[in-house]
Structure 1
Amino acid sequence: MVVSNRLPVDRVTAHDGSPSWKPSPGGLVTALEPVMRANDGAWVGWTGVADDEQGPFEADGLHLVPVRLSATAVELYYEGFSNDTIWPLYHDVIAQPTYSRRFWEAYVAVNQQFAEAAADVAAEGGTVWVQDYQLQLVPKMLRELRPDLVIGFFNHIPFPAYGLFSQLPWRREIAEGLLGADLIGFQRRADAGNFLRAIRRIFHVQTGKGRIELPAAGEGSWPNSSSDQPRTVVARHFPISIDAKAYVDLVEDPEVRARAAQIRSDLGNPSTIMLGVDRLDYTKGIQHRFAAYAELLAEGKLDVDDTVLVQIASPSRERVETYKALRDDIELTVGRVNGEFGSIAHSAINYLHHGYPREEMVALFLAADVMLVTALRDGMNLVAKEYVATRADEDGVLVLSEFAGAADELKQALLVNPHDIEGLKRAILSAVHMSRAERRTRMRSLRHRVLTHDVERWSKDFLDALADLRPTPSARAAAAVE
């Protein structure tokens, strides 16, 4: 069973008003769907519509269990605590988190809803995999309801250093919630280390080699109230990836290739196309890449007649005030740069504030000579891996922030500190002027990593590690006697 904030489907309404469901895009669904089909799995999550009374249903062969969220719960739990408290806190406080008791109370209540929904439908002794920062309390709640279950948790975003995590008034409750899992997965080794340090600081104990030994209930200060038996929790990194084969297959599509050529033509066949693809989020460093690019134009090191930056910024959390302000700021910057450096024939920045289907994204990747990923903090950043997967021609250059999880794996990218505008400018110029031989050497190494460490391998590694923590029949029998 998978438990996540959203179900893996989106509602589609036909012209006659009849509803249906289509699979949501995303690597998580791709990775887990075969496993769930093979094990008669279920998926618990929200439909994405407030006050939706949808009951359990089947879609594309999957058993889906909706959790109903009221409009107030969406505002306080999702827009509030999840995205106005946890998100900025876990991304190094790039924006100031809001510590609201109303947000927290809603977060607790909604996590309890998810835990109860999962407990109601999970098979005896089943495996439950809880996903991401919106549901950090679910592992403990679920263990208290169903101690027979094997529980995994994966944190898709960074986990902060203790100096930041300690700001959270409910740090102990979050830590206890996560320790309800048997296996806690993180994107980076450093994230797992931050979590283990937080556990040591909060509970004043030692941890070793990613293993946390919980004593039986009533022994010591550890949160293990649901079990009379000692229990081991493992925390380690499992860097997520993409469905690489799907991107490789699309590259071979003649229509996609033709579209890539059309994109270059529509942009005036410049010498260099630079591309940024991000959710519109303050963690993505969009303003930093704009600043570096504008300075290079001002210094005459790049020419708007033969260089263009295409920025895709898909809408994100548009009801949250921080994101509204960010959009206004970015659009003002685009207007200023285009007004100062653009010509009648060429814009300096082609800015597009909407999402695109995967086929169009692959065409954009094929058209781009330089991919700019300048995140100020990112759990992984799958766009970097998507760009690499599409470059079967072993061309193109990836400029990648060292603060993105992908930097741990994609070491042949041009790694940058996006706060260092001069360093970012040097990296952009290196990418623009890099020789074909060096581009090929770097891209070949990057593609080997992405193609051999895909999302299927990620899910298998996590679930295999979780299976290793499953109690043996004899241990389960002893616990039953107790």
Structure 2
Amino acid sequence: MNRLIIISNRVSAPKDSNSGAQGGLAVALSAALRENGGIWFGWSGDTVEQFTGQINFERRSGVTVATVDLEEHDIEEYYEGYANRTLWPLFHYRIDLAEYEREFAGGYQRVNHRFADTVRPLIDPEDVIWIQDYHMFPLGQDLRDRGCNNRIGFFLHIPWPPRRLLNTLPEAADLAKTLFAYDVIGFHTQEWLESFRDFATQDLGAELLDGGRLKLGDRVVHALAAPIGIDCKEFVEGANSPTARLAYRQMRDSSNGRDLIVGVDRLDYSKGLEERFRGYERFLETHPEERKEVFLLQIAPPSRATVESYQKIRSTLEGLAGHINGAYSDVDWTPIRYVNQGYPRDQLAGIYRAARIGLVTPLRDGMNLVAKEYVAAQDPEDPGVLILSRFAGAAEQLGNGAVLVNPYSAEEMSDAIVQALRMSRDERIARWRPMMDNVEQEDVIWWRKRFTDALLDTAKAETAAA
């Protein structure tokens, strides 16, 4: 493949190749850049008084990074506003939290124009461009408007909502039309792909062609499902590292023979943490014989602290954890350990392995890699049980082994916890094995190759047609 240009809101290329905290996406995209050469472009995370378009170049673990600073009002309108107060809640089915402000939409368009103006001089004619996520829906069209005829792909890492929900967004059709500037569009699941196809054909008038292609006017785009995975080999190695083994021993020692239930989620209303706490409370209420035999460790590092809805969820969870602990604790037992900080991935791997249950219950999630990390961290001879929301993207791949639940039902979650605690070792192994097979086979490298192969096949088809 020719040189690769990756564009995302924030650049995740690791500063240290030995870092245990880098996520699966950073691993996959960094590896692709090292293999093919190229640049990872995005916002630096810093502010500047006046936008100049000055590019800051840096070399990180064999990857060339190019970043720009944004003005404070750019961040308020583009990032905190349209991306995270309009698109994020809407695409996670929370229209009650979505805020529609013209200033947000204007800032979103302005910043995407600025990204296009800044990155365009860095793009050579034969480069392949891969744009990541909802922050940059219109960037492909902005690049086309600036004479960029390169192959351009786009991957959406969050759900695509049903058309009736999406139509609550002012100018939703105009936003969706910009996706036809791309050659390939990727989604994590078949459900998100079908929702996009439905909107494109019913609201935009696009024509569905063979081979997963859609035609609108003179533009044809290939839309596909490509579920992202983790770097399974690297994660398993991390799970057997000294750091992971120490974390495992610390958790086992602090458990005092009790079964650990673990949840690891960014502090976000889409993760269903309030519903999870209430489901756990229902379990404690209806199964008093189990109370002092288990405890829930919820790790929830805060995010987007300046957005009001995130401040509310943090306050709600703190109050709910305090209520449950106050109602059910004893002098030698606390039912919930609620921690608002993040941990390196190798340390998390040890915590996952120590947990009898992995509780992954988002209300809606594009994929959710915690579910896959939990599976990969398990002891093959004595694995834990994954309780997984049927509304997480990961349920399409892991539903054959996980205990699937409706996260809105406290009773269903309570029943699932009891089922997992009482599950025999043979059944736990039988459930874990097919999930692990999937995590190993459809890993993050498989995901990256599936998408880039489609992007290259599109180019070959165009050449043959010419």
- Normalized against structure 1, the TM-score is what? 0.90
Q: Distance in 2 between matches of 1:67 and 1:149?
A: 22
Q: Contact between 1:44 and 1:117, CA under 8 Å: does it hold in 2? A: no
Give 2:429's aligned residue: 440
Q: Distance in 2 between matches of 1:2 and 1:23?
A: 22
* Paired residue secondary structure (1:380): coil
Q: Contact between 1:277 and 1:312, CA under 8 Å: does it hold in 2? A: yes
1:116 aligns with 2:93: no
Q: Distance in 1 between matches of 2:128 and 2:425?
A: 49
Residue 391 of structure 1 and its aligned partner are, at CA, apart by: 1.1
Q: Contact between 2:7 and 2:132, CA under 8 Å: does it hold in 1? A: yes
Using CA pairs under 8 Å that are at least 6 residues apart, name the structure with larger relative contact order, 1 or 2: 2
Give 1:43's aligned residue: 40
Share of identical aligned residues, percent? 38
1:311 aligns with 2:294: no
Q: From the superposition, tell whether residues 94 and 171 of structure 1 become closer, same or farther in structure 2 (CA, over 3 Å).
A: closer
1:167 aligns with 2:154: no
Residue 231 of structure 1 and its aligned partner are, at CA, apart by: 3.7
Unaligned runs of 5+ in 2: none
Deviates more, 1:74-83 or 1:167-176: 167-176
1:248 to 223, 236, 242: 236
Q: From the superposition, tell whether residues 466 and 23 of structure 1 become closer, same or farther in structure 2 (CA, over 3 Å).
A: farther
Q: Distance in 2 between matches of 1:342 and 1:357?
A: 29
Residue 133 of structure 1 and its aligned partner are, at CA, apart by: 0.3
1:211 aligns with 2:213: yes
Q: Contact between 1:140 and 1:176, CA under 8 Å: does it hold in 2? A: no
Q: Distance in 1 between matches of 2:272 and 2:311?
A: 16
**Count of aligned positions:** 454
1:131 aligns with 2:118: no
1:285 to 245, 249, 272: 272
Give 1:414's aligned residue: 403
Amino acid at match of 1:460: K
* Paired residue secondary structure (1:403): coil
Q: From the superposition, tell whether residues 160 and 97 of structure 1 become closer, same or farther in structure 2 (CA, over 3 Å).
A: same
Amino acid at match of 2:38: G
Q: Distance in 1 between matches of 2:438 and 2:462?
A: 38
Q: Which whole-Å deviations, capped at 9, do the CAs of 1:189-241 have from their partners, x for residues lacking one?
A: 11111111111222224313431124xxxxxxx3xxxxxxx442011110011
Q: From the superposition, tell whether residues 47 and 433 of structure 1 become closer, same or farther in structure 2 (CA, over 3 Å).
A: same
Q: Distance in 2 between matches of 1:345 and 1:191?
A: 46
1:33 to 30, 33, 46: 30
Deviates more, 1:121-130 or 1:59-68: 59-68
* Paired residue secondary structure (2:46): coil
Q: Distance in 2 between matches of 1:63 and 1:255?
A: 30
* Greater fraction helix: 2
Q: Contact between 2:13 and 2:26, CA under 8 Å: does it hold in 1? A: no
CA RMSD of aligned residues (A): 2.1
1:320 to 303, 307, 314: 307
1:232 to 213, 220, 224: 220
Residue 422 of structure 1 and its aligned partner are, at CA, apart by: 1.4
* Paired residue secondary structure (1:184): strand
Q: Contact between 2:20 and 2:344, CA under 8 Å: does it hold in 1? A: no
Q: Distance in 2 between matches of 1:393 and 1:446?
A: 12
Q: From the superposition, tell whether residues 301 and 443 of structure 1 become closer, same or farther in structure 2 (CA, over 3 Å).
A: farther
Give 2:77's aligned residue: 76
Unaligned runs of 5+ in 1: 13-21, 215-221, 223-229
1:330 aligns with 2:317: yes
Deviates more, 1:370-379 or 1:260-269: 260-269
1:449 to 433, 438, 449: 438
Residue 61 of structure 1 and its aligned partner are, at CA, apart by: 2.2
Give 1:462's aligned residue: 451
Q: Distance in 1 between matches of 2:368 and 2:285?
A: 30
Q: Which whole-Å deviations, capped at 9, do the CAs of 1:271-313 have from their partners, x for residues lacking one?
A: x110010000111111112112112212234533221000000
- Normalized against structure 2, the TM-score is what? 0.93
Q: Distance in 2 between matches of 1:58 and 1:23?
A: 19
* Paired residue secondary structure (2:174): helix
Q: Contact between 2:177 and 2:204, CA under 8 Å: does it hold in 1? A: no
Q: Distance in 2 between matches of 1:302 and 1:179?
A: 58
Q: Distance in 2 between matches of 1:281 and 1:414?
A: 23
Q: Distance in 2 between matches of 1:299 and 1:42?
A: 55
Q: Distance in 2 between matches of 1:35 and 1:474?
A: 24
Amino acid at match of 1:444: R
Amino acid at match of 1:136: F
